[in-house]
């Protein structure tokens, strides 16, 4: 026959297993959630860097096109631009 202390020890061990399995499951689920959010945030940061580099790499090809040069020259010669410069001189 088992003594009362060994029965209580066995019962305490079984109760610990019952409590620990759900607790462990919650901890694993929480950790995987945090890992998923961290991974997603790092992917967004990486995508921003890629888009920035892509933008920088395309800038020279945009500025060297004849369409851009002609449009830029037209913007510089417009009447509204000249009026703005005149008003800026009057206000100063």
- DSSP for the chain, please give it: ---HHHHHHHHHHHHHHHHHHHHHHHHHHHHHHHHHHHHHHHHHHHHHHHHHHHHHHHHHHHHTSHHHHHHHHHHHH-HHHHHHHHHHHHH-
Give residue 66's Cα distance to chain centre: 37
Domain total of the chain:
1
Mean pLDDT, to the nearest integer, of 50-55? 92
The answer to whether the beta carbons of residues 60 and 66 sit under 8 Å apart is no
What does the block give as tokens for 80? 């509204």
Q: Tell me the pLDDT band of 65, cut-offs 50, 70 and 90.
A: confident
Q: What pLDDT digit, counting tens, does each position of 19-36 carry?
A: 677 778 888 999 999 999
Q: Give residue 36's domain range.
A: 4-91
pLDDT mean over 41-61: 91
pLDDT category at 45 given cuts 50, 70, 90 is: very high
Contact 81, 75 (CB under 8 A): yes
Could you tell me the pLDDT band of residue 59, with boundaries at 50, 70 and 90?
confident
Window from 37-46, 48-57, 58-67 with minimum mean pLDDT: 58-67
């Amino acid at each position: 026959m088992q003594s009362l202390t060994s029965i209580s020890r066995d019962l305490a061990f079984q109760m610990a297993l019952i409590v620990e399995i759900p607790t462990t499951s919650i901890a694993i689920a929480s950790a995987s959630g945090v890992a998923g959010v961290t991974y997603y945030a790092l992917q967004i940061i990486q995508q921003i860097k890629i888009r920035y580099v892509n933008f920088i790499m395309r800038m020279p090809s945009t500025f060297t096109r004849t369409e851009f040069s002609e449009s830029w020259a037209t913007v510089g010669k417009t009447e509204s631009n000249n009026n703005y410069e005149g008003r800026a001189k009057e206000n100063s």
